[in-house]
Amino acid sequence: MAARKQAAEEPEEPSRAAGACVLVVLVGVVVGAAFAVDEAAGVLLVVTAGMFTVWRAARRVSDSSATPPPREGRPSCRMCAGQEPVSVTPSGPQKGMLIYSYTLPNRPNHTHLHIAEEVNDQ
């Protein structure tokens, strides 16, 4: 009966904290060995590892801050949803960009703007 209970229970997955602890110990042993061989080798290893870590973090930040791809059609937001644009003007300094102007019913004398890439509907 004990064998049936063990077969019915799912095996436990190892903890992430346990894996991190093993990694920290292994890194400590490698750094300690490098310092034991030569102090300059240990310093070089620590500096190289730090530079590599900073480089990876910088690459990850630059990838995540990329602008999303443009949406099809004209832009819309919560304020101008359902409104027709008053004018669509090409942007002078930014080639291929359009400026959409909206007048909002609850805000007279105010123009709401969107700047978006030009979409060719051909």
89-118 pLDDT tens trace: 887 776 777 887 888 777 778 777 777 776
What mean pLDDT, rounded, does the chain reach? 77
User: Average pLDDT per run of 10 along the chain, which is 122 residues long?
Assistant: 60 82 95 95 95 88 55 63 76 76 78 70 45
Chain centroid to CA 84: 34
Sign of CA dihedral 8, 13, 18, 22: positive
Q: What does the alpha-carbon distance between residue 13 and residue 19 come to, in Å, rounded to a whole number?
A: 11
Percent of the chain with pLDDT over 90: 29
81: tokens are 């949803």
Domains in the chain: boundaries: 16-64, 70-122
Residue 53: what pLDDT?
92
Helix (H) / strand (E) element for 105: namely: none
Q: What does the alpha-carbon distance between residue 115 and residue 45 come to, in Å, rounded to a whole number?
A: 49
Contact assessment for residue 70 and residue 117, using Cβ atoms and an 8 Å cutoff? yes
Helix (H) / strand (E) element for 78: namely: none
